[in-house]
Structure 1
């Protein structure tokens, strides 16, 4: 067993995020493990750019209201306790609703994230549907 030393909180780079986003690395697999886990905190209105993960991604919404969308899909509103799975190579984005902070736990494998263009204001401002419907 080993108590892992955690790197300091990092500000999300402007190439990958719109608005203020911070993340803490919880786990980054070593050797054969490709597991990744980050806590990500979004200021109101902040969001990722469009992106995809080669082996998919799971998000656990911890607090606030999340907005999540797959390319060509409906904008989904998710709340604390909701778990969202994005399949491998599916282009998507996620972020905080206007006026609300949002924190999620992001779980994925490997370093093959493909970052794309930023989400437009029209995409972000679409009317969301509940993840529970």
Structure 2
């Protein structure tokens, strides 16, 4: 057993990955042979990821607020606390807060020697984001 006392500061999501104000708290980063990492991600209203994909898939579990997500070519979907979203391997997608509510989710990712946890792509445009359901 290993207990890691909370000593990592909350970090601001970099502008190369996110639009708007996003804050990240590291939750899990086990050493090899584990491939799993987890982060608690706080999106302020209107904030969102860039388009991105995960070679080994990603699961997000919404813990607070109201969010939005979309896979490339699909409709924008509303997500709420308790919702679990699986983005399949290499599926281009984005996720973030709704325009007027914050959203917090636990993001669970895998990586290994051959696959990075995430590949960041282009920003979600304001026009793409505005397609969100009412």
- TM-score category of the 2 structures, normalised to the smaller one: over 0.9
The normalised TM-score by structure 1 is 0.93
Alignment partners' CA distance in 2, 1:112 and 1:95: 18
Aligned to 1:50: 51
Aligned to 2:71: 70
Gaps of 5+ in 2: none
Q: What does 1:109-128 align with in structure 2 at a 5 Å threshold?
A: 109-110=110-111, 111-128=116-133
Aligned to 1:89: 90
RMSD of Structure 2 on Structure 1 (CA): 1.2
The normalised TM-score by structure 2 is 0.92
Alignment partners' CA distance in 1, 2:131 and 2:110: 30
Q: How many residues are treated as equivalent by the alignment? A: 129
Q: Per-residue displacement from partner, 1:11-57 (whole Å, max 9, x unpaired)? A: 00000000000000100120211111100000000000000011000
What is the CA-CA distance between 1:4 and the residue it aligns to?
Answer: 1.5
Runs of 4+ in 1 over 4 A off after TM superposition: none
